[in-house]
Homo-oligomer: A and B are copies of this chain.
Amino acid sequence: MQKHGKQTWVFSTPPKLIDGAAVAGPDEGKGPLAHDFDLLYADLWAGEKSFELAEKKMMQDACDTVLKRNQDKPIDFFIAGDLLDQIISSSFTARELQVPYLGIFGACSTSMLGLALAAFLVDSGAAKYALAATSSHNNTAEKQFRYPNEYGAQKPPESQYTVSAAGAGLVAASGSGPRITGATMGKIVDMGISDPNNMGAAMAPAAADTIYQHFQDLQLTPDAYDLIITGDLGQVGHEITKELLQQKGIVLNDQQFVDCGLLIYDRETQPVFSGGSGCGCCASVLYGHFLKRLQRRELKKILVVATGALMSPLSYQQKETIPAIAHGVVLEG
């Protein structure tokens, strides 16, 4: 482990992402990445009696899918977080797994915070196998962060649609799979946006900050990567990020710079406003879609930057602005 520049870890013995699983709900199952998910649910209940239990089941199913395929590999640590108050989806999943558990919270940046920490544990010798997971669920998030689902409240076009999905990634010291070579850990960026219906705009400056810092810390230019992937900025946030980076001299084109929140749905036929959001968005697209493309060697090197809007319903009611953060992880095929 070496620290480069201000915010970037470079792993000395790069851990491998040896497996990953993604599970998703019915809307995601109608989107363009449907075939990449390990499991699709017919409805948002997932056979449970509350949406919260359904979200927990999704995270559990993602973890179980990975664990069943890797029964010979005992997990040393489970690192997880989610959007629900007191990260209950994660803690109740951890109750089933019965391994040491590190609870984390970074809102929608949680996926890469978890993957970075898992790689960190493995690189340092503290774990042979670490499992990182996160989840989100449209109905649990809507009712907690916005309005009761039954209201059917209207939304502005810049709002985003919370993805119902979970993803889990298994990091190991050795094995086959892409190497996790580095991570850039974000700091809070808050440009004064207070509208929780415009999270893309709130998170964009944090995404730009972490991507810029990544290139600074490693003295790289964007051509080092096949893809630079953001988590869930949506159309509005993605465009702002591109512009902010351009102002700093980093020019990304639409082929190279993509967003999981834009990839997971077909915005022409699905009513998802500016795109998908939620912890499960980046996690399910990485562990479901991009991991396969890395395994097939279609992609050699990617930077995945998950962004989080760290407000709470209470901080919004108290008229606070939204502190945003972004954490990035480098994967090499």
A residues adjacent to B (C-beta < 8 A)? 1-3, 6-7, 9, 50, 52-53, 76-77, 81, 83-88, 91-92, 94-95, 98-107, 113, 117, 120-121, 123-127, 185-188, 190, 310-315, 318, 320, 323, 325
Contact = CB atoms under 8 A, between A and B. Distances in A.
Nearest to A3: B126
A9 B186 CA distance: 26
B104 A104 contact: yes
A89 B329 CA distance: 26
Contacts of A1: 124-126
B3 A101 contact: no
24 contacts: A3-B76, A6-B100, A50-B318, A52-B315, A77-B185, A85-B85, A85-B313, A88-B310, A88-B311, A88-B314, A91-B325, A94-B188, A94-B323, A99-B187, A101-B186, A101-B188, A101-B325, A102-B185, A103-B105, A103-B325, A104-B105, A117-B117, A120-B126, A124-B124
Contacts of A312: 84-86, 88
A186 B323 CA distance: 30
Contacts of A101: 185-188, 325
A180 to B, nearest CB: 14
A104 B77 CA distance: 15
Contacts of A313: 85
